Each structure stands twice: as C-alpha cells, then as structure tokens.
Structure 1
C-alpha cells in the first residue's frame, strides 16, 4: 500500500450494524490495499481486537448490545490504535464525547466512502509522523516526559492517562517550549478536518490536559494560555 512503511497490508476492523454501509466501506478499503474484517454489533469487538491483528477500527456510534462510545473507552484502556467513529447524531456533545474518550476523528452520516478512506489514510499518516525518528521517541521538559512510540506521558515519574487529542496537543507544545501556538495551528495538528471543530473545542481539550498534568504534580504549571493568541509550554 503506497504511502505507508508497513510490510504487510494493514487490517481495518469495520464495526457497523448496517450491512450495506459496511460492505461499501469494505469495498473501498480493499481497493486501497487494506485487509478488512466486519462486525455488525458491539458484543465481540474487544475480544477481536485483543486476539487478532487489527491496525485500525472504524466504529459506528449506535450499535446493538454495546454502543461505540463504550467500546472506544474500553479499547483505550489497553490500546492506542487509531479509531474513526461514524455517527448519524450531529449534536456537539456526542462529537466531543467520542473524541475525548479517545477517538482520533469522526465522520457524520450520510458520508462518502471515499471520504472515510481518505480520513483513514490521513490518520495513519499523522500517527506515523507523530512517532517521528528514533531520536525523537522521548521528549523531556522539566518534570514532564512523553514517550512518542508508546503514547505514554509521565509527570514526576507518574503515569498520566491522556486521550489521543490531548497527547498530540502536548507533543506539539513540547517540541517547541516557549513558542506560542495559535488555536488554528493546534486544530490542524489534532483534527483531520478543522471545519468540524471550534476554538472552544481546543480550549476544552487544553483545559482537560492542564487539569490532568496539574493533578499529577505539585510543581509549577507548565501549560500557559496567552489571551487572544493560543497556548504554550514554559
């Protein structure tokens, strides 16, 4: 598959209760060189991910037996594999919940199968770019450390659980301490399509990130808001 450094085709698990939609996604993913598996309800998704070689999950929000948000939360307890959520519910709360529980992005129904495949590719490129070179795997700044390869964050040697969006925010800020990053630039780092989020969304993620970092350490806060501009680490 062009554009990715994997020797074997990557496997995408499609979890979608509408067979026609699932089949369209499988067809388009297959054309792009992905292997696929399909599940039509939420019952066995976690077991499949734990026991089989799954590289990416396309996860419908509304599923029989177990909903997509619950599954997303459970996956994030043991894996940072990329998750793209599908939803027919367009209210902002569900969107934010999905992302803050650990989804990498979402697409609203009805959607173009080409758009979904494009999002999958973009997320995979972004994940690979985040990993960077071997020399960049660990970034340390004062009492904070992140491991890019393992998606781990430590404050005063204490593990801090971050969502993918929070991790990318922190990674971006730590790469250039003291530099102020605008909300727009942070949106581009954290989301495939910045039209689906607002500055308020970024503010919400930064607030959550700051809270987690502060809870883990009594030392001086590193994450700073610059009024009317954006955020920096210093």
Structure 2
C-alpha cells in the first residue's frame, strides 16, 4: 500500500515516513500543497495524509482538486480543537480527520480502518449495486442515479448511502454507522456522521432542508425511506 504524507513540518513528515515504512507501507513525501498535488498525480497513492495548513496551496484546496479527479482516500490532519477545519475538510470530500497531536497508535488505527474500507469496496461485487425506490447505487463506481440523473459521490458517501439503502426502513444508530462505514470499534465522533449525512442530502435530496429519503431520528440516528409513488 502506498501512502502520500503531505505536511510543511519536515520533522513530522520524517517521523511519519520512518514509522509507516516500518509497518510495511510505501511512503511518498510532500512539503507544500503544490508538491502534494504533483506527487499525488505522479504516484497515485492509495491514501493521502494531508495537513490542512500548508504553504502555496492549502490542504483544503488540495483535497478539493483530488476529489475532482480521483477517489483516493484522504485523511486530513487538523490542529487541536479546530472543529471548523474538520467540518470544512469533510465537506470537501475527506474521508476522515485526525487531530494533532496524535499518537502513532491512533494514526495506525485510522490508516488500517481507511484502507480496509477501500479494500472491502474493491473486493465487493455482488452487493456493490443496489436499487431502492428512485435510486440505483453503484458502490464500486461511487455513483448513484436518481430518476435518470447520475450523481457522483465520494467513497465515504458511497459507503454511507449503501449502508442506508441496504437497511431501508430501519433506524441505524450513530455508533452503528461509525462502526460500519468508518470501521471503528470504539464510539466515534457523531459530528463525522452528521457532516457526511448533510453533504449526502445536498447531493441526493430534492430539498436538503426538507429531506424525504434520509431522515433523522432524534437522539438515535438515521433511517432511509423510499416513498411509494402515489397512484393516480
């Protein structure tokens, strides 16, 4: 597995590179946004670890450009307690975030979970395509068609929608969604789910402010509903 580490802190990049190589990963390094985009296009890594505060081009713009061109997995690194950075990164298509400072054990757990999710999608064939109501989702291509209109999704949005559609009519708790979509055994950040649900609604709902398909069950979680067409 190939990982691109992009951070303007050279000591951080050196430490992460040494540590990741010791765990069997191939590492590509970048120290600013322009270099990150160049190295990413040259090497096509499986995962990009991306600091949001970099010179020349910041991590948000790097993430946006990556999402426009590829489905590479993206883990953003944010400063402690910078929730707005986390939300912005997720809205631009990052798959997950990790707050600095973090331990090597935390980073390894995130990397393994992200790469496992990507591997599960690539290895899935029979269950990757599903049709419910007006939606036809191809989880391999990260695309959903609604009423004949093709909508592009990020890998995480695709996994989230696939989970919801395969449990149509069932209430999924936030912890269950985190475990199934992000692969974390421990309780995760509910904001991670909330942000992705909001972004997914903006893509697939006719009116994201009045969702018909992905509805919130207050204090519990979310459910996917496919309304039955009214016969004339």
- Shorter chain as denominator, the TM-score bin is 0.7 to 0.9
Say which SS state the counterpart of residue 86 (structure 2) adopts. helix
> Does structure 1 residue 232 correspond to structure 2 residue 223?
yes
Which residue is 2:9 aligned to?
18
**For the residues of structure 1 that align with 2:155 and 2:44, how far apart are their CA atoms?**
21
Which residue is 1:207 aligned to?
198
> Does structure 1 residue 174 correspond to structure 2 residue 165?
yes
68, 89, 93: which one aligns with 1:98? 89
CA contact (8 A) 1:28 1:117 kept: no
RMSD, aligned α-carbons:
2.3
- Offset, 1:34: 0.8
> Does structure 1 residue 143 correspond to structure 2 residue 137?
no
Deviations 1:8-33 (A, max 9, x none): xx111111111111111111111111
- Offset, 1:195: 5.3
Say which SS state the counterpart of residue 12 (structure 1) adopts. strand
> Does structure 1 residue 197 correspond to structure 2 residue 211?
no
**For the residues of structure 1 that align with 2:63 and 2:146, how far apart are their CA atoms?**
25
**For the residues of structure 1 that align with 2:219 and 2:103, how far apart are their CA atoms?**
36
**For the residues of structure 2 that align with 1:204 and 1:20, how far apart are their CA atoms?**
32
Deviations 1:128-178 (A, max 9, x none): 224453111211112111112111122123122334443222111111222
**For the residues of structure 2 that align with 1:47 and 1:22, how far apart are their CA atoms?**
17
- Offset, 1:122: 1.3
> Does structure 1 residue 61 correspond to structure 2 residue 55?
no
- Offset, 1:77: 0.4
**For the residues of structure 2 that align with 1:18 and 1:203, how far apart are their CA atoms?**
31
**For the residues of structure 2 that align with 1:27 and 1:57, how far apart are their CA atoms?**
16
Which residue is 1:152 aligned to?
143
Say which SS state the counterpart of residue 85 (structure 1) adopts. strand
Say which SS state the counterpart of residue 84 (structure 2) adopts. helix
More divergent stretch after superposition (14-23 vs 123-132): 123-132
- Stretches of structure 1 lacking an aligned partner (at least 5 in a row): 1-9
Which residue is 2:40 aligned to?
49
30, 45, 59: which one aligns with 1:39? 30
Change in Cα spacing, 1:87 to 1:192, as seen in structure 2 (3 Å) is farther
Change in Cα spacing, 1:175 to 1:46, as seen in structure 2 (3 Å) is same
- Stretches of structure 2 lacking an aligned partner (at least 5 in a row): 226-232
**For the residues of structure 2 that align with 1:115 and 1:81, how far apart are their CA atoms?**
21
**For the residues of structure 2 that align with 1:148 and 1:131, how far apart are their CA atoms?**
9
- Offset, 1:201: 5.0
TM-score by length of 1: 0.84
